[in-house]
Amino acid sequence: MRAIEVLAELRALVGYLGEEHGWWGSQFFARSSRTFLMPVFPRSLPLSQYQGVTVAAARAHDERIGVGRIVHLFRMPELHEQAAAAVLRDATGIDQVLAHLGSREEAMQRLSALAYPVEPNEGPVLVGGWDEDLALSLGKMAGHYAAAIHENRRAYPYLRHAE
């Protein structure tokens, strides 16, 4: 799996689990949201859910980390944002990204499979620099999110961005 596909999948997993744990005030992946969203987005419901939770999670991260020369799972440089959007435009891509959101347990199992072992921390967590390998950085981020959810804490991993 390419790093950009992992980026899109991690956003869905963390977005879904973050909603379950009240990390942000959205409910795009709640069962009841389908009733509300389906009449408005009948052909693009999964994409709408993904985009909605991404915006909600980005705001929560920005409030706790700040904005500027940092990037986080929900706010990447434009090139990566465009590449993630391209993954989601394909029906197979969106299905793969959302494949493990059937239950909290399934989502946690997949998040743990993508996670690298890390020392658990709470709050904003610097995991490295933007110049590092994206796949490695995403694995570290996944590790912090998985540990935080397991310990009923909140973590906001981020990377320094030189530009």
> 126 — alpha (psi -120 to 50), left (phi > 0) or beta?
beta
Structure confidence at residue 99 (pLDDT): 87
As a whole number, the mean pLDDT across the chain is 87
Domain that holds residue 40: 3-160
Sheet holding 155-160, edge to edge: 70-72, 155-160, 123-129
Structure confidence at residue 33 (pLDDT): 65
Token pair belonging to 122: 């709470």
Taking only the tens place, the pLDDT of each residue in 35-88 is 655 555 556 567 778 888 999 999 999 999 988 889 999 999 999 989 988 888
Helical (H) or strand (E) element with 123: strand 123-129
**How many domains, in total, are found in the chain?**
1
